[in-house]
Structure 1
Amino acid sequence: MNLTHSCIITSDVKRLSEFYEQVLQIEAEFYGEDYAEFKVGQSTLAIFDLNAHDSSAPGSAQTASNKSIILEFNVENVDKEYERLKKMNIDWIKTPTTQPWGNRSFYFRDIDGNMISFYTHVS
């Protein structure tokens, strides 16, 4: 089994996609105005409009309310990415820290409040 997609439901696909374009330095591929994808390694991060989602699964999602899932991205150099992203207006959770299990990481939130972690394994 492989996890191939993660999807964020939002009320503003364009705005959230522009945020991720800056953060990931990857251009979104749009499929209409209500859906965008980012190819990230072997996975896909999708951004999907709430109203479009509600047409197939009414009432099943609420935007900007995630408090339990973290999108984690393995990056080459955590400290370099932190310095680059510090120039953006970001809601920071944790500055770069080396964890006991061997990862150096930092946490922040996207503009909908979803938690993101950038990490690098260090020895």
Structure 2
Amino acid sequence: MNFVSIRVITTDVQRLARFYEEITGMAVTMYTPDFGELVTPACTLAIGSTRTLQLFGGDIARPADNHTAILEFRVGDVDAEFDRLSGTLAGAIVQEPTTMPWGNRSLLFRDPDGNLVNFFTPVTAEAIRKFDKQGA
């Protein structure tokens, strides 16, 4: 088995697609006006509109109502990303770059729908080894 993607449901696919393109520097491939994907080497972030829920049987997810998941992206230098995105993330920062007890330096912020996003860089020898083994 291989975990390949996570899907975020939104009322505004274009807004979220533009946001994730800006913060990652990667293009979102739009397959329809209701569905797009940001493909990274490790995983895919799918962005679907509320209209796609009908294909799964109806009202099964609520957009902008996530209180449990954090979307995480490994970046080369979390402090540089914080500086680069300071204007984009104004008012959305939950935690400025902080070194966590498990060895990652982490920047936590919210996307336009309020989903938590974590940019992190492994900084301790153990964390670096862990992610090098994963190929992430």
Output the TM-score relative to the length of structure 1: 0.95
1:97 and 2:98 are equivalent in the alignment: yes
Question: Could you tell me how far 1:60 is from its partner in structure 2?
Answer: 0.4
How many aligned positions are there?
A: 123
1:11 and 2:31 are equivalent in the alignment: no
1:107 matched residue in structure 2 = 108
Give the Cα–Cα distance (whole angstroms) in 1 for the partners of residues 53 and 41 of structure 2.
Answer: 25
1:120 matched residue in structure 2 = 121
- SS at the partner of 1:48? strand
Residues 1-123 of structure 1 aligned to structure 2 (within 5 Å): 1-90=1-90, 91-123=92-124
Q: Report the residue type matching 1:73 in the other structure.
A: F
Gap regions ≥5 residues in structure 2 = 125-136
Question: Could you tell me how far 1:3 is from its partner in structure 2?
Answer: 1.0
Identity %: 40
Question: Could you tell me how far 1:20 is from its partner in structure 2?
Answer: 0.6
- Could you give the per-residue CA deviations for residues 57-106 of structure 1, whole angstroms, max 9, x where no partner exists? 21101010001100111110010001011121441100000111111001
Q: Which structure shows the higher helix fraction?
A: 2
Output the TM-score relative to the length of structure 2: 0.86
Contact 2:89 2:109 in 1 (8 A): no
Question: Could you tell me how far 1:29 is from its partner in structure 2?
Answer: 0.4
CA RMSD in angstroms, aligned pairs only? 1.1
